[in-house]
Structure 1
Amino acid sequence: MSYKPSSLFRLIEELNRSIFLPHIQRPFVWEEDQMLRLFDSLMRNYPIQTFLFWRTKDEIKARKFMERVEWDADLSDFYDPGKSKKDIEKVFVLDGQQRLQTLYALFCGAITSVDNRRAEAYFDVTSGMVPDDRGLLHRVQFSAEPLQLPWYRVADAISRDGQRNSEEVSDRINSSMDNLNATAPPDKRETPPQVKEREKRVRRNSGQLLSLLREEKHFWIQELDGVANEYPYDRILDIFVRVNSGGTKLDASDLMFAAMKEAWSDIEEVIEQTTEMLNGTNLQFDKTFPLKCLLVAHGRGAEASPEKFTGPDGDALMTAINTNWAKAEQAFQQLRDFLKHDLKIYADKVIRSYNSFIPLFDFLYHNPKPNEATRTLLKAYHYKAQLFGWYSQGTDTVVNALHTIVGKPSPGGFPMTEVKEYFKKRGSATELTRAHMNETRLRFILLNQVYVDQMGASPFDVKFKGNDPHVDHIYPQSMLRSKLGFLSADINHLGNLRFMGATDNIRKRAELPAEYFARMKAGGMDIAKHLLLPDYAADPTKLAFDTASYKEFRDRRFERMWDILSSTTNPEVT
Structure 2
Amino acid sequence: MDIQKYNVNQHLIETLLSWIKSGEIAIPEIQRPFVWDGAKVRDLMDSLYQGYPIGYIITWRNPNIRLKDGSTSEGKKILIDGQQRVTALTAAILGDYVINKNYKRVRIKIAFNPIQEKFAVQTPVIVKDKQWIPDISKVLSGQINSFNFTNDFINNNPDLNQDDIVRAINKLFNLAKKQIGLIDLAADLDIETVTEIFIRINSQGVILSQADFVMSKIAANETFGGQELRKAIDYFSHLAVAPEFYQFIAEHDTDFAKTDYFQKMSWLKNESEDLYDPKYTDVLRVAFTTQFNRGKLSDLVSLLSGRNFETRTYEEEIAEASFKKLSNGIHHFINETNFKRFLMIIKSAGFITSKMIRSQNAINFAYIVYLKLKAQGENPANIETYVRRWYVYSVLTGRYSGSPESMFDFDIRQIELKSFKDYLQEKEDGELSQAFWNASLVQSLNTSVTSSPYFHVYLASQVRANDKGFLSKEITVGDLLTYRGDIHHIFPRNYLKKAGLPRGKYNQIANYVYMQQEVNIKVGAKAPSVYFGEILDQCNGSLLKYGGINELDELKINLIQNCIPESIFTMNIDHYDEFLLLRRKLMANKMREYYFSL
Q: Whose RCO is larger (CA < 8 A, sep 6+)?
A: 1
* Structure whose CA Rg is larger: 2
Q: What TM-score, normalized by structure 2, do the two folds share?
A: 0.44
